[in-house]
Structure 1
Amino acid sequence: MNTITGTIYRAIDPMHMGSALDGSRGEGRFNAADQPTLYLSSSRDGVAAAMIKHTSANDPARTVIAVRVENARVFDLRDADSPDHAGISLDDATCDWQQQLREGVRPQSWSVRNTIEESGAHGLIDPSRKSPGLWHLVLFTWNTPSAPAVTVEER
């Protein structure tokens, strides 16, 4: 596991700026609707890459904000050896989770999250599939006792 401390970025609908750190409002690659999850990116370019898949023409423009993350223990999916050590599969982590949902199947990537969370990690590093070399930070817990502190640095 790695520890992350630093500035990370998030795209947010300006109408929801007051709840920018509340996390996802629905299902995502690494979460069912009832699992708090905060999706972030390591850079503004990472946010742009992530938004390719998660924005449609009818969506409002997003604002990119900088947030400070302190002491997040995370499992790094970029490390080719890491999945073997945790008993997870990179194929499961990168599955087409939206297609699996459409088929009525629980996405394999949700099981990856559960396994990583059970190992004591606060979240994971997910390599960008749209822009190799970029990465995203996915937090399962934050701003609670013994979890990483996350605060807005810049709007």
Structure 2
Amino acid sequence: MPRTPPIFAPTLRGTFYRAIDPAFRSSAVAGSRAAGRYSRAHEPTLYLSATREGVAAAMVAHRSARASALEVAEVDVEAWGIVDLRDPRAAEAAGVDLANAAAPWQGVAAAGGAPTSWAVRDRLLRLGANGLIDPSRQRPGLWHLVLFRWNEEGAPAVRLRDAADPR
């Protein structure tokens, strides 16, 4: 009998990266203030990249909506309950159509519609997920961590690393 693939990836621990407006550094781990690929405007969501290169790739799609002087902040993360959308078997086990995750979302949201990627979030939340790993569409091989919950009881933990913190 074939084994069902696990829905959740192993616990992630390490440093992740986020582009921030230096004026809002104190709230860098509060989550996004606007709608995103996996979040309606009223749904706090923390978008992080696994590498600095991933931040640069992600920002290609957001240049017009961002401050001109961004810095890359380092964020220490310990996260579990994450669905890895790079793994088609995990996505299938979670009932996620990868085409819905990858579909363009900005124009749909701007027109008042609901992008299909928001339904991906809704599906994963119903399964008890704390977030997902999203493969970069700009640079294959790079990936992003998207958290739906963090820094609350029973949720992943994140901490903004101070610029003076040693590695």
Q: Deviating runs (4+, > 3 A) in structure 1?
A: none
Structure 1 143/17 Cα, relative in aligned 2: closer, same or farther at 3 Å? Answer: same
Q: Give yes or no for the alignment of 1:7 onto 2:15.
A: yes
Matched residues in 1 for 2:150 and 2:95: separation? 24
Q: Give yes or no for the alignment of 1:24 onto 2:32.
A: yes
| SS of aligned partner of 2:161 | strand
Matched residues in 2 for 1:122 and 1:78: separation? 16
1:136 to 121, 144, 152: 144
Q: 1:88 is matched with which residue? A: 96
Structure 1 57/143 Cα, relative in aligned 2: closer, same or farther at 3 Å? Answer: closer
For structure 1, the residue ranges without an aligned partner over 5 or more in a row are none
How far residue 102 of structure 1 moved from its aligned partner, in angstroms, is: 3.5
Q: 1:53 is matched with which residue? A: 61
Whichever residue aligns with residue 27 of structure 1, its letter is A
Q: Give yes or no for the alignment of 1:43 onto 2:48.
A: no
Q: Which moved more, 1:7-16 or 1:95-104?
A: 95-104
Q: 1:117 is matched with which residue? A: 125
For structure 2, the residue ranges without an aligned partner over 5 or more in a row are 1-7
| SS of aligned partner of 2:81 | strand
Q: 1:101 is matched with which residue? A: 109
How far residue 79 of structure 1 moved from its aligned partner, in angstroms, is: 0.2
| SS of aligned partner of 1:32 | coil
| SS of aligned partner of 1:17 | helix
Please report the TM-score for the alignment, with normalisation by the length of structure 1: 0.94
How far residue 105 of structure 1 moved from its aligned partner, in angstroms, is: 2.1
Matched residues in 2 for 1:6 and 1:115: separation? 26
Aligned alpha-carbon RMSD (Å): 1.4
Q: 2:3 is matched with which residue? A: none
| SS of aligned partner of 1:47 | helix
1:4–1:73: 8 Å Cα contact kept in structure 2? no
Equivalent residue pairs, number: 155
How far residue 103 of structure 1 moved from its aligned partner, in angstroms, is: 3.8
Matched residues in 2 for 1:23 and 1:133: separation? 24
Matched residues in 2 for 1:101 and 1:147: separation? 28
Whichever residue aligns with residue 22 of structure 1, its letter is A
1:5–1:72: 8 Å Cα contact kept in structure 2? no
Q: Which has the higher strand share?
A: 1
How far residue 82 of structure 1 moved from its aligned partner, in angstroms, is: 1.8
Please report the TM-score for the alignment, with normalisation by the length of structure 2: 0.88
